[in-house]
Amino acid sequence: MTDYQSTDYQSKSWWLESLPETILPNPPLTGAHKADVVVVGGGYTGLSVGYHLRELNPGIDVRVIESDVCGYGASGRNGGFSMTLFGLTKGITQFRFNDEKARAAHTYMESAVDYLHEVITQNRIDCDYERSGYLLVGTSPAQVKRVEHDFKIIERWGSAGIERWDRARLAEEFHTDFYKLGWFEPRCGIIQPAKLARGMKGLAEARGVTIYENSPVTHFSKNGSSGYTVKTEKGEVQSEYLVFATNAYSILFPQLKSLQRPIFTYIVMSEPLSDARMESIGWQCRAGVEDARDLIHYYRLTKDNRIVMGGGDVAFTYGNDLTIDLNNRIFAHLEGHVTEVFPQLKGIRFTHRWGGPVSVTVDMAPVIGYLGEDKKTIFSLGCIGHGVSLTTYNGRTIAEMIAGQRSSRTEMFFVGRKTIPWPPDPITYGAAHAIRGFMRLEDRLYYK
């Protein structure tokens, strides 16, 4: 990749395009090196592993190897919700594991959201953080049932601070007839994702982590009992520990391929709303909003009052194809949904459209796992569209695992859990189509 243009990343999201500075990528990996830990992938997970390892042990030699620039993947493209959802919904996590584990996962996620806030504020990471909360809304009778169901679970767990918002309360905040019932979680927030990723890169480097960019890892192998060798086109590093922080891109590594599947989610963004338009829609609380469909919509405001609308449908490809970042059908649906929720915005212009892959395990739940018996190759996968706070916190957990420190995090049930592999294509491809078809139908008939 000698012809790399430092602006290539910009087309991947408005967040990356609008960074205050053009990224000058770090030099690629060249030559042969030795280190204690190699981390493959420079998103939130990889950068957080590096940062926390050096926090725990300032003498440890950690190298992060990123194929493009840090933040190129989901970390530079997401909706920017820092939220407490673990897996797809609370109900599904409870059904898949049990009530105790679902509750423990929620507590972990609450800590993840609080911890991300702490990292951002203590290290003064400029990422437009707004602790404006998260709102789950029901917009049809069937969605209202789901919102009630989730709220009952949260009430039973005794989770503090979450408020039930009836129609009158919702109408105080939003000028729309669309919302019937909601619950509001004040501890959550919204960020500019690419600024967070670049800020985390700066933080990791300030702690002494070496980061190579523009360096796709092509191969890794075990050297008997003396660790691993990781290779790129122009260099290699030998290390005792190896961490895969490659999220949906893990499909490119045969050893990880069947553990997760990339699924693409899409976003549209409007022009900045004028003061008059802002007044017409309310949204004074500025909370990130999700509805309770199967194929959810998620939406929020940016610092300069653009509306970011994502979700609505998903896409997937056959085999290892990771090139479907754009989907005009879904973009058109999302633009239409903005004026469905806020008819007073008819005529607004949409300026940006993008998408990216999330990592999905068979049971839709995250996993921090090991490859091999020696427990020295660690991977983190399956954070689906709920990974902003989770991946940053998981980075801390993985650093503790490598440092041999036990904590409430390293003892979580999803650390070291066995994952069910996806069957090979065409079985998975066919099954994914069938599941998405069912979800679309349910949304059309019930959830709207």
Ligand X SMILES: Cc1cc2nc3c(=O)[nH]c(=O)nc-3n(C[C@H](O)[C@H](O)[C@H](O)COP(=O)(O)OP(=O)(O)OC[C@H]3O[C@@H](n4cnc5c(N)ncnc54)[C@H](O)[C@@H]3O)c2cc1C
Contacting positions for ligand X (CB under 6 A): 40-46, 65-68, 72-75, 77-81, 83, 216-217, 245-249, 252, 265, 267, 298, 310, 355-358, 383, 385-388, 391
For residue 129, the minimal CB distance to ligand X (Å) is 13
What phi, psi does 433 have (nearest 5°)?
-60, -45
Closest CA to 336 of 367, 318, 309, 317: 309
C-alpha span between 134 and 188 (Å, rounded): 6
C-alpha span between 102 and 40 (Å, rounded): 30
For ligand X, which is the closer residue by CB, 277 or 369? Answer: 369
For ligand X, which is the closer residue by CB, 138 or 357? Answer: 357
* DSSP designation for 184: E
For ligand X, which is the closer residue by CB, 249 or 393? Answer: 249
For ligand X, which is the closer residue by CB, 79 or 312? Answer: 79
Nearest residue to ligand X, scored by beta-carbon proximity: 387
For residue 166, the minimal CB distance to ligand X (Å) is 26
C-alpha span between 441 and 294 (Å, rounded): 10
Burial 358-384 (b: 16+ CB within 10 A, else e): bbbbbbebbbbbebeeeebbbbbbbbb
Burial class of residue 233, CB neighbours in 10 A (0-12, 13-18, 19+): middle
CB 398 within 8 A of CB 407: no
Place of tokens 């009992």: 225
For residue 309, the minimal CB distance to ligand X (Å) is 11
For residue 46, the minimal CB distance to ligand X (Å) is 6
For ligand X, which is the closer residue by CB, 25 or 357? Answer: 357
Q: Render 306-317 in DSSP notation, one character per residue.
A: -EEEEES--B--
For residue 194, the minimal CB distance to ligand X (Å) is 10
C-alpha span between 242 and 63 (Å, rounded): 10
For residue 445, the minimal CB distance to ligand X (Å) is 26
List all residues 6 or more positions away from 147 whose beta carbon is below 8 Å from its beta carbon.
136, 137, 138, 181, 182, 183, 292
For ligand X, which is the closer residue by CB, 41 or 199? Answer: 41
For ligand X, which is the closer residue by CB, 227 or 310? Answer: 310
DSSP H/E element including 134: strand 134-138
> Which residue type is seen at 437?
G
For ligand X, which is the closer residue by CB, 186 or 216? Answer: 216
For residue 66, the minimal CB distance to ligand X (Å) is 5
For residue 78, the minimal CB distance to ligand X (Å) is 3
For ligand X, which is the closer residue by CB, 162 or 268? Answer: 268
For residue 239, the minimal CB distance to ligand X (Å) is 14
CB 192 within 8 A of CB 119: no
